[in-house]
Structure 1
Amino acid sequence: MAFSGSNFIVSNNGECYLRMKLPDDGTTVINIPNKTITLWDIVCKVAEKKGYTPGDYIILAEKGSKKIKPDLSASLENYIDYNLKLVSVEDKNEFIINNRKSSVMNSPASKKINFKMKKYNFPATIDEEQIKKKQQNNGSGSEFNLRIGKSKKSFSLFIFRRSSSTLMDSKLSTNSLQDEMCNEEHELDRQDSLNGENCSFASMNSIENPTTPIVDGITVRESSLIDIEGKTEEHTNYHTIRKTIVSSNNMSNSNSTLRRNTFRKHQRSQTDNISLKGRESYNSGVVYIIYSDGEKSDMQFPLEVTMDVILSCASKKKELNEEIYTLQTENGEKIQLDRVLKYYLLDNNLKSGNVNTFKLVEGEKFYSTVCVNENDQDVMILQYKNTYDEDLQVMAGTIDKLIERATDNSEKDDTFLDIFLLTYRAYIKPMEFFQLLTARFNCELPPDPTEDDIKYFEDMKGLIQSNVVKVMEYWVKHHWHDFAVYPDLEENLISFINELKPYEEYTQRVEDFECQIEIQKKKYEDMFGYIKTVEKIGKVMDSMLSELDPCIVAEQLCLYDFKLMKNIHPIEYLNQIWGNKENEDSPCLNFFISRFNLESFWAATEVLKEEDLKKRIEALKKIILLTKSCLDNNNFFSTFALISGLSTNAVQRLKKTWEGLPSKVKITFTEMEKLMDPSRNMRNYRMELESKEPPIIPFLPIYLKDLTFINDGNQSKVDNMINFDKLRMMSSRVHDLISLTDKTYSFKENPIIQNYLAKPTKIVDDKTLKEMSQKCEK
């Protein structure tokens, strides 16, 4: 398949495709007979595909800075080198001209910079039932059906082709939906979760209690909790970012000099009306408090409670004024009071290791978060990564401040940049992001600059411009998908590169840049061509399963599915969460998703097409052995698909067929079915997955489900700043997913079997499958 221009595609078999830009800035690809088609016929084809009314739309054509409204009776051939966009008749004059913008560079000394001390806490995600209810109310999403035994269980993932997520601002439960937290915690219906704004839970026990179990070296009491109920004053500037402790990616200080603040004023919740609740304590730990008079007392708390709540409880117990007290370790290490108990109890975040004993002392209170304020506006929230050094990582920021940080050498490595470029689409469009970058490159002195402004401009301009080019290079190398989907973005990029050519210091970088563009274009064309090829691959082949060894078929199925998954760009996973379902910006992921049903129906068809009982038993046995081989080869995707196919009612009702299986094969199938148990957040599958090493083809919906929960369960903004910590979590989950394909399978491709697996014999109609089943066994 070759590309002509930027929007007209000719496939290897001579079929023609045209990429069109839609009114909402998405894109679509339509099949056309040839390039002599009229523009009106193109409007009609797009309108038919998208459900538009043809008479309400026209076509606008753009080539570089030239923008025209062509006659719809004209032939596409006259505009083959133009980028074509379908626009509403009412919007025909709203054609955006992308003029180069500039930005003002002020020195830090001329800015009014200070650090406002606020409390930012970290609960976050809502639970699965709330998500399901929300999706049902919105009427969005779809169900992914898993069939287990004879009963069909609906495992609603509401993630395939889902609409843009509406972020929730409601009060959120602390039930974590991140993969690193997907352990035994998911088994519990934690009604005793802590919401820092409303209530606190603690259990106060006698130090003499001799029946205290030890877990991971930390004393934990499985006794009833005391619920601290009562009126809670609303915290001033209290914000929820997320539940778990921040990641350990290396982040450096911002360009401004940050002086660590040691004291923060804030209103604190009052712990009144203590009452015994008498319920089991799950996921909790015991801490020991040493008072100034030497008395030692133990208290039991949930691991997700913040240290300031523990301070409040300890002060309340001795009727002390908590405002003048803080917590330290026995060695005198300062405790950041907005951290959760787990941070100190289990996560090795102190120089002295895990601790469960704290001293209550008079002194200044320490917190982990710092809010940067410039010219009376909050622009960034930073967090100290640990308690014993000054390394900071971004938790939230304005888009301008995030771009500034990405281009001013504030970061030690590319971790921040990688997260930013993977996730920025949640807040701005690619073209807007490009314009902000070029504005940063075209930095200027402010009006009436001070000496500090001039010196800072002279010192930093070259560095910032070089870093902007670096960001562009990284964007092209790792996220060419944006430029492929939006041709006008590619044109602006080429124009920007051409503007660099006169400058000698950029000569080599421009050559490398242009070379990288060609490499990425070729990779994308190959990927797009491969998807179109497998979609259009020849006729359905007759069944070969009876002639083949199930282990060989499993190996070929691994190769086939692995290549499809490897082609999926990381952006596509997030497009499923953030993108408009009408946009065709996830071609590889969409095709891979469609494979699940194909393989499921294939498995059912292979069994039901055999009317002879012995042959049917043999077919069922082969599918089960094929499924087991897929599982052994870490192909969970096919494992789930094939089991789902065998769990259809049409197959499950074949009692004689199932009874005819060897007992060993029956046991094998039963064990594999357990893997699909959706209870406890798919715990069986997750544990099996954790025990494997790449290459792995995962059951993809689980990852998309986790991304959905992280997205819907976390605020999009904090104080009108982008919640970058949420983006960090989502980026981490995507990287977890793509890391499964870091290694490749060593099997050798068999072209004949590969062609067979591309379009195997299958019946996709449930009614027909039921009729076939009744023919087999009445």
Structure 2
Amino acid sequence: MPQTPPLTGILVSGGYNKNLYQSQSPAEGQGYGSAGLYYHDNILVSGSMEALIHHLVPSLDYYPDRTYIFTFLLSSRLFIHPYALLSKVCHLCVEQQRLSDPQADKIRVRQLAPKVLQLLQEWTETFPYDFRDERMMRSLKELTHRLTSGDELYRKAVHQMTQVLIRKLTNLSQYEEALVKIKATATDRLTVLKAKPQAIQRDMLSICNDPFTVAQQLTHIELERLSYIGPEEFIQAFEKKDPLDNEKSYFSDHKKASNLEAYVEWFNRLSFMVATEICMPVKKKQRARVIEFFIDVARECFNIGNFNSLMAIISGMNMSPVSRLRKTWSKVKTAKFDILEHQMDPSSNFYNYRTALRGATQRSRTANSNREKIVIPFFSLLIKDIYFLNEGCSNKMQNGHVNFEKFWEMAKQVGEFMVWKKVECPFEKDRKILQYLLTAPVFSEDALYLASYESEGPENHTEKDRWKSLRSTLLSRV
């Protein structure tokens, strides 16, 4: 059977051969089928679900391409629960290779075992969150026990694989608990403003007035949060029934995309924090100083390759309560800000940003240090790109085959993200700055408007009416 050609580097280097993902549809060129799989120019473009599962399972003389494993495990959850998939894989391993036969050739078992264990290792390493399901752990235990029975070497390998998996799941649980505590600590700033005098309140510049250090600490937060996002969350975020699918979605009983959602919430928090820091000072000169400080932080984020923090800071500065502070902005040297805004200009589908991202990605691929490997994409745009790719094509074709051509492209985008999220932050942590960035209370949108009007009075009747309304509602609460 012709094998799926090795598509360069989805899980290894982050480099891609674009042409391998751009084969024509079967109707547009010469294709051929093989055991329920359809190829075009030696590229797997579609197949029945059963055939695709068979293509995943190793045999004595076959092991699936690593990129196929990633792509199939990523996309298959749109059609089948990971637990049901693992059950099928176990069944095929046991029945096809006659492993259930007590008289099975021990040599045969020993030849097959390393290949099946390798597949399981790739699954547990790349999609560990699938194994939060107890049924998955049970199936994993049963299959590995059957494969390693009587072989000490394989037992050690299984033990090591299981320990790594349990450690990842434990770390995830601890991370989720920490997020809950952080959320509970970060309260509405307005409550704090009324609770203690302005003179003893903390602000960003009193914690750290070095833009480079703050940009480094923001990068710590970004990379930590990225590291906990499972690749499957990009797929599970799009819970939508395909008209050609008959299978029931399983996402309703699954933690769909909690780490992805937490990361989006972090972006929003950073934007609101920047706006809060700018609107809070009473004096115009101090507000201008805060704006210039965050412009410098944003520029350092750009230099690092931290595009997500960069965009969050720009978004905070562009919020209406901040942008309306004309007297404050008149005191700001905006040349650097104009350059950054140009880089993140949304026109032509974020052409300038995408060019900068390609440059950072290229730098990352050839980098010798973790410092140069950092690529933190503007995350909302990454999700949007994957969303439109998902919406643009059906998951299944008219004949019921899985549209695998679509999933090659999706895996390419998610796979590049997988490379970026594995970079370890090279900067030294500053606990005090991190604590402030994560937990300092911020204004709500209404409180931002109120602070803005208090700093620079309303300019028209609409603003005056809103100011009066906000004063009566917000200030009476506290």
- TM-score range for the pair, normalised by the shorter chain length: 0.7 to 0.9
- 2:139 corresponds to 1:492: yes
Q: In the alignment, is the contact (CA less than 8 A) between 1:440 and 1:468 conserved in 2?
A: no
How far, CA to CA, are the matches of 2:299 and 2:121 in structure 1? Answer: 44
CA separation of 1:248 and 1:413: change in aligned 2, threshold 3 A: farther
Q: In the alignment, is the contact (CA less than 8 A) between 2:87 and 2:139 conserved in 1?
A: no
Q: In the alignment, is the contact (CA less than 8 A) between 1:640 and 1:676 conserved in 2?
A: yes
1:706 CA drift (Å): 1.6
Which of these residues, 261, 266, 283, is aligned with residue 595 of structure 1?
266
Which of these residues, 223, 229, 233, is aligned with residue 572 of structure 1?
233
Which of these residues, 740, 748, 755, is aligned with residue 420 of structure 2?
740
Q: In the alignment, is the contact (CA less than 8 A) between 2:109 and 2:147 conserved in 1?
A: no
How far, CA to CA, are the matches of 2:267 and 2:257 in structure 1? Answer: 16
CA separation of 1:411 and 1:493: change in aligned 2, threshold 3 A: closer
Aligned to 1:651: 322
Q: In the alignment, is the contact (CA less than 8 A) between 1:477 and 1:517 conserved in 2?
A: no
CA separation of 1:745 and 1:483: change in aligned 2, threshold 3 A: closer
CA separation of 1:671 and 1:465: change in aligned 2, threshold 3 A: same
- 2:38 corresponds to 1:381: yes
- 2:355 corresponds to 1:687: yes
Helix, strand or coil at the partner of 1:717: coil
CA separation of 1:403 and 1:539: change in aligned 2, threshold 3 A: closer
- 2:205 corresponds to 1:560: no
Asked which structure has the greater RCO (Cα within 8 Å, sep 6+), the reply is 2
Aligned to 1:623: 294
Which of these residues, 411, 421, 425, is aligned with residue 731 of structure 1?
411
How far, CA to CA, are the matches of 2:106 and 2:145 in structure 1? Answer: 24
Q: In the alignment, is the contact (CA less than 8 A) between 2:74 and 2:231 conserved in 1?
A: yes
- 2:54 corresponds to 1:404: yes
4+ residue segments displaced more than 6 Å: 457-462
Aligned to 2:429: 749
Aligned to 2:393: 714
Give the partner amino acid of 1:509.
Y
- 2:43 corresponds to 1:393: yes
How far, CA to CA, are the matches of 1:462 and 1:413 in structure 2? Answer: 21
Give the partner amino acid of 2:316.
G
1:411 CA drift (Å): 5.3
1:587 CA drift (Å): 2.9
Superposition pairs of residues 184-583 of structure 1, within 5 angstroms: 245-247=19-21, 338=28, 367=30, 369-372=31-34, 379-384=36-41, 392-406=42-56, 407-408=58-59, 409-410=61-62, 413-443=65-95, 467-484=115-132, 486-502=133-149, 504=150, 506-537=151-182, 539-540=185-186, 542-546=202-206, 547-578=208-239, 580=251, 583=254
1:483 CA drift (Å): 0.6
Give the partner amino acid of 2:92.
R
Helix, strand or coil at the partner of 2:21: coil
1:708 CA drift (Å): 1.3
TM-score normalised to structure 1 length = 0.47
CA separation of 1:493 and 1:427: change in aligned 2, threshold 3 A: same
CA separation of 1:404 and 1:337: change in aligned 2, threshold 3 A: closer
Superposition pairs of residues 690-705 of structure 1, within 5 angstroms: 690-692=358-360, 693=363, 694-705=373-384
1:412 CA drift (Å): 6.7
CA separation of 1:768 and 1:581: change in aligned 2, threshold 3 A: farther
Q: In the alignment, is the contact (CA less than 8 A) between 1:637 and 1:697 conserved in 2?
A: yes
Q: In the alignment, is the contact (CA less than 8 A) between 2:301 and 2:310 conserved in 1?
A: yes
Helix, strand or coil at the partner of 1:577: coil
Q: CA RMSD in A?
A: 3.2
- 2:335 corresponds to 1:674: no
In the comparison of the two structures, how many residue pairs are matched? 398
How far, CA to CA, are the matches of 2:281 and 2:106 in structure 1? Answer: 80
What are the Cα deviations for residues 400-447 of structure 1, in whole angstroms up to 9, with x where unaligned? 22222222445574222222222221211012101211210222699x
Give the partner amino acid of 1:706.
D
1:562 CA drift (Å): 1.4
What are the Cα deviations for residues 743-763 of structure 1, in whole angstroms up to 9, with x where unaligned? 434211111111111112311
Helix, strand or coil at the partner of 1:442: helix
Q: In the alignment, is the contact (CA less than 8 A) between 2:306 and 2:376 conserved in 1?
A: yes
CA separation of 1:747 and 1:520: change in aligned 2, threshold 3 A: same
Helix, strand or coil at the partner of 1:584: coil
1:574 CA drift (Å): 2.2
1:466 CA drift (Å): 5.6
1:610 CA drift (Å): 0.7
How far, CA to CA, are the matches of 2:113 and 2:22 in structure 1? Answer: 29
Superposition pairs of residues 739-778 of structure 1, within 5 angstroms: 739-764=419-444, 766-778=445-457
Q: In the alignment, is the contact (CA less than 8 A) between 2:270 and 2:313 conserved in 1?
A: yes
How far, CA to CA, are the matches of 1:527 and 1:421 in structure 2? Answer: 20
Aligned to 1:30: none
User: Which stretch of structure 1 is more off in the superposition, 606-615 or 563-572?
Assistant: 563-572
Aligned to 1:312: none
Report the structure, 1 or 2, having the larger strand content.
Answer: 1
Aligned to 2:467: none
How far, CA to CA, are the matches of 1:424 and 1:445 in structure 2? Answer: 24
What are the Cα deviations for residues 533-566 of structure 1, in whole angstroms up to 9, with x where unaligned? 1431484583232452122111111112111112
CA separation of 1:248 and 1:656: change in aligned 2, threshold 3 A: closer
Give the partner amino acid of 1:558.
T
What are the Cα deviations for residues 32-52 of structure 1, in whole angstroms up to 9, with x where unaligned? xxxxxxxxxxxxxxxxxxxxx
Helix, strand or coil at the partner of 1:394: strand
Aligned residues with identical type, % of pairs? 23
Which of these residues, 603, 610, 620, is aligned with residue 281 of structure 2?
610
Q: In the alignment, is the contact (CA less than 8 A) between 1:543 and 1:761 conserved in 2?
A: no
Report the structure, 1 or 2, having the larger helix content.
Answer: 2
1:572 CA drift (Å): 1.9
CA separation of 1:544 and 1:337: change in aligned 2, threshold 3 A: closer
Helix, strand or coil at the partner of 2:38: strand
How far, CA to CA, are the matches of 2:122 and 2:419 in structure 1? Answer: 19
Aligned to 1:130: none
How far, CA to CA, are the matches of 1:465 and 1:756 in structure 2? Answer: 51
Helix, strand or coil at the partner of 2:173: helix
Q: In the alignment, is the contact (CA less than 8 A) between 1:695 and 1:742 conserved in 2?
A: no
Structure 1, unaligned runs of 5 or more: 1-107, 109-178, 182-243, 250-303, 307-335, 340-366, 385-391, 447-456
CA separation of 1:492 and 1:413: change in aligned 2, threshold 3 A: closer
CA separation of 1:401 and 1:460: change in aligned 2, threshold 3 A: farther
How far, CA to CA, are the matches of 1:477 and 1:691 in structure 2? Answer: 29
Give the partner amino acid of 1:418.
F
Helix, strand or coil at the partner of 1:395: strand
1:712 CA drift (Å): 1.5
Helix, strand or coil at the partner of 2:40: strand
1:500 CA drift (Å): 3.6
How far, CA to CA, are the matches of 2:51 and 2:456 in structure 1? Answer: 68
Give the partner amino acid of 1:624.
I
Structure 2, unaligned runs of 5 or more: 2-14, 99-104, 187-200, 241-250, 364-372, 458-478
Aligned to 2:255: 584
CA separation of 1:410 and 1:247: change in aligned 2, threshold 3 A: farther
Q: In the alignment, is the contact (CA less than 8 A) between 1:675 and 1:684 conserved in 2?
A: yes
